[in-house]
Amino acid sequence: MAMSEIPTVAVLGTGGTIASTDTDEGAEPTRGAADLLDAVPELAAHADLVVEEVAQRPSFDMDFETVLALADAARDAGADGIVVTHGTDTMAESAYALDHLLDGTVPVVFTGAQRHADLPGADGPANLLAAVRAAGDDRLRAAGGTYVAFDDELHAAGAVRKLHTSRLGAFGSPAVGPVASVLRDGIEFHRPPGSDAPRFDVERVTATVPVLFSGIGVGDAGLRRALDAGADGAVVEATGAGNATAALGEAIAAAAADGVPVVVTSRCPAGRVQPVYGTPGGGRTLAESGALSGGRLSAAKARVKLVLALSRRAPDPPVEALFPPWTGAAHEETT
């Protein structure tokens, strides 16, 4: 199909706030994706729309089975672009997962809402319109990749984070900023779209990966219990530029020595982990012990990546090659 023709955009619904209404038990996803489209008649001017309901759940209860089903639906859609309506709590994680599960040739744009439809100033319709416009945009269709469209900004899946619990502009990309801004009369790109995230062939998720936190007085018991229970890997949300307590650092070194991958991230919302401190638990000590660098990834995204990497049908390249070096010399999936 020529790029100048109106594109076909598949809208895949998964629930979330954008699909929620008030009930006696609180807000719950009750509206299907077709209902969301009916509420925004302007969409018809931008794309031929097809719709599929993949799930109907709040994203704080999202699971990998649903994410894999979502990836299958995106592959089978046969559309020029994909829009996924999704809850905001784990939207960045699901988008990041699909960035690794799909081949990247068709743009996938996640969107949702901070205010459900029963509230004044509900933001779902505007976000949905922006997502459909982005998914059908000629430049994005040529580049492919996975994104989050929210509050008139388009963010790359590798960089985006939810930064506020309730503000309408909840999402940001601390490392690099948004890929584009969605304007009334077009889309203004700030940097080239696209993604070169490694692709993982995952039929089902088989790996268990807990996330451990480092802070004042944190010991090694949590990590050692997780490993004794059969964890296949772990992610440590460390302090600063990737530092842990001495006790936790020793447990990380022991896990690495046993061949269990442990990815170190920072609990800071911006910046990357770096091998600076050589004391017990310091970043340099962790790097030399064999711990993997999470680069600029949040702990949540590092967990998604490690779970998918350990669940691949073909374990090549090795897991350690999928994470950036501690020195920051390699690409860190923030495009």
What is the secondary structure of 280-335 as a DSSP string? TT-HHHHHHHTPEE-TT--HHHHHHHHHHHHT-SS--S-GGGGS--TT--S--S--
* 67 lies in the same domain as 176: yes
Asked if residue 146 and residue 58 are part of one domain, the reply reads: yes
pLDDT at 218: 97
218 shares its domain with 278: yes
Cβ-contact 324, 330 below 8 angstroms: yes
Show which of 155, 189, 223 is a domain's final residue: 189
Q: Is residue 180 part of a domain?
A: yes
Q: Are residues 163 and 234 in the same domain?
A: no
- Kindly report the backbone phi and psi dihedral angles of residue 67, in degrees, each rounded to the nearest multiple of 5, phi listed first: -60, -45
Residues 97 and 131 in one domain: yes
Of 158, 189, 220, the one marking the end of a domain is: 189
Q: pTM for the whole thing?
A: 0.94
User: Based on the domain organization, do 124 and 269 belong to the same domain?
Assistant: no
The answer to whether residues 198 and 189 touch, using CB atoms and an 8 Å cutoff, is no
Is residue 334 within 8 A of residue 172, CB to CB? The reply is no
Same domain flag for 242 and 133: no
- Tell me whether residue 195 is in a domain: no
242 touches 265 (CB < 8 A) = yes
Ordered alpha helix ranges (H), the chain: 33-38, 64-76, 91-101, 124-135, 138-143, 221-228, 246-257, 283-289, 299-310
CA 92/CA 148 separation, integer angstroms: 7
* 216 and 184 inside one domain: no
Residue 45 domain flag: yes
Same domain for 241 and 147, yes or no, is no
| Domain housing 309 | 211-322
Catalytic sites, residue numbers: 17, 88
**What pLDDT sits at residue 271?**
92
Per-residue pLDDT of the chain (335 residues; tens, 9 = 90+): 445 489 999 999 999 999 888 887 888 888 999 999 999 999 999 999 999 999 999 999 999 999 999 999 999 999 999 999 999 999 999 999 999 999 999 999 999 999 988 888 888 899 999 999 999 999 999 999 999 999 999 999 999 999 999 999 999 999 899 999 999 999 999 999 999 999 999 999 999 999 999 999 999 999 999 999 999 999 999 999 999 999 999 999 999 999 999 999 999 999 999 999 999 999 999 999 999 999 999 999 999 999 999 999 988 899 999 999 998 655 566 65
Claim to verify: residue 221 and residue 180 sit in the same structural domain: no
Domain with residue 294: its CATH number is 3.40.50.40
What pLDDT does residue 88 have?
Answer: 96
Assess if residue 202 is contained within a domain.
Answer: no
Same domain, 135 and 239: no
Q: Does residue 329 form part of some domain?
A: no
Q: Is residue 185 part of a domain?
A: yes
Separation of alpha carbons 22 and 127, rounded Å:
20
Same domain, 172 and 277: no
CATH of the domain at 16: 3.40.50.1170
Summarize pLDDT for 120-149 with one digit per residue, the tens. 888 889 999 999 999 999 999 999 999 999
For residue 2, what pLDDT is reported? 45
According to DSSP, the residues that pair with 188 across neighbouring strands are: 181
Q: How far is CA 141 from CA 2, 129, 192, 315, in A?
A: 11, 17, 12, 30
